[in-house]
């Protein structure tokens, strides 16, 4: 019997947004399992056994485990050969452009821009920071303590946890380095300058569901990378620094257009909402821990129903 792919994801995760957008673009039916990265569910033993890196997204499908958002997007192309490819043949003109711009966008180190913006007040943003520097440090320090405890208690997972701890500490060291974070912002500027120039060559602006897009008439992996990058920049309050207010008019028009696209709305529209990024995942996580029985899952279901019913009253609190 056919089984739809299962996506382990987090609403706020940048790379989960890429994976969800890929599923929506390819119109592949899929199931979702929310992983609460705010409370450290990604370092719990059950998840480390799935992905020793302790990161989302992951896809399980037909006894296969696909880790990493780019691998997931490539897998979606494999299972939908009848649909336009997200990654066209690089021997074609469109494919060569997609390969170039995908590589260019991958050179933007979004982790250091995201957490560097939250940690260093020297990086100006038009939005009030949701996390203060102490909370950012705690976001990394607390999971490391948890992982150290798991490593001591679970010998079979010790090597995986030690690797994850080392990678996390290396990440934190770079985030604490203001110069490194500023260099990442500069690199982002350089990348967007080249993309702005490329978009200026695109003839005509179709509807949100039609081309042309960055590299071709079809929405490709390069567009997935660009759309999610612009979305994260806007979320961080860095839009005016990089592309809004006339800074880069072609990118601004591109982002306005992509936000109206059906796939983007379904995959990314809630990722700027405090309720869906923080309140809802924490509510579900705590309910699952408090009510692990079928009755408990019923409570979770009621929570989901209530969230949808009253989300319009909450006005999707954004920050």
**Does 61 score more than 80 pLDDT?**
yes
**Does 307 score more than 60 pLDDT?**
no
Instruction: Dump pLDDT digits (tens) for 216-253.
Output: 999 999 999 999 999 999 999 999 999 999 999 999 99
What pLDDT shows up at residue 3?
Answer: 85
- For the residues of the chain, what is the DSSP string, one character each? -----EEEE-TT-HHHHHHHHHHHHHT---EEEE--TTTTGGGSHHHHHH-TT--S-EEEETTEEEESHHHHHHHHHHH-TTSPPSS--TTSHHHHHHHHHHHHHHTS-HHHHHHHHHH-TTS--SS--SS-HHHHHHHHHHHHHHHHHHHHH-GGGHHHHHHHHHHHHHHHHHHH-HHHHHHHHHHHHHHHHHHHHHHHT------TTS---SSSSS--HHHHHHHHHHHHHHHTT-HHHHTTTTTSHHHHHHHHHHHTSHHHHHHHGGGGBHIIIIIHHHHHHHHHHH--SHHHHHHHHHHHHHHHHHHHHHTT-B-
What pLDDT shows up at residue 103?
Answer: 98
pTM (two decimals): 0.89
């Amino acid at each position: 019997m056919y089984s739809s792919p299962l996506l382990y994801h987090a609403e706020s995760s940048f790379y989960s947004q890429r994976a969800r957008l890929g599923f929506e673009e390819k119109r592949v039916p899929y199931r979702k399992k929310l992983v609460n990265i705010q409370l450290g569910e990604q370092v719990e033993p059950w998840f480390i056994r799935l992905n020793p890196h302790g990161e989302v997204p992951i896809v399980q499908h037909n006894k296969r485990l696909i880790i990493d958002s780019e691998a997931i997007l490539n897998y979606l192309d494999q299972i939908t050969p009848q649909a336009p490819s997200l990654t066209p043949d690089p021997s074609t003109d469109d494919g060569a452009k997609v390969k170039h711009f995908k590589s260019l966008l991958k050179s933007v180190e979004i982790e250091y821009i995201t957490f560097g913006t939250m940690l260093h007040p020297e990086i100006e943003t038009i939005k009030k920071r949701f996390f203060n520097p102490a909370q950012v440090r705690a976001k990394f320090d607390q999971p490391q303590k948890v992982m150290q405890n798991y490593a001591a208690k679970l010998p079979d997972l010790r090597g995986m946890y030690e690797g994850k701890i080392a990678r996390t500490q290396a990440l934190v060291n770079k985030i604490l380095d203001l110069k490194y974070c500023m260099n990442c912002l500069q690199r982002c500027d350089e990348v967007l300058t080249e993309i702005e120039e490329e978009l200026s060559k695109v003839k005509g602006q179709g509807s949100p569901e039609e081309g042309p897009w960055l590299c071709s008439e079809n929405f490709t992996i390069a567009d997935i990378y660009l759309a999610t990058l612009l979305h994260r920049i806007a979320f961080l309050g860095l839009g005016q620094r990089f592309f809004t207010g006339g800074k880069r008019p072609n990118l601004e028009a591109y982002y306005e257009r992509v936000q109206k696209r059906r796939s983007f709305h379904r995959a990314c529209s809630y990722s700027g909402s405090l309720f869906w990024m923080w309140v809802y995942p924490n509510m579900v996580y705590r309910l699952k821990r408090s009510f692990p029985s079928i009755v408990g899952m019923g409570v979770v279901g009621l929570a989901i129903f209530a969230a949808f019913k009253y989300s319009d009253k909450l006005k999707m609190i954004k920050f």
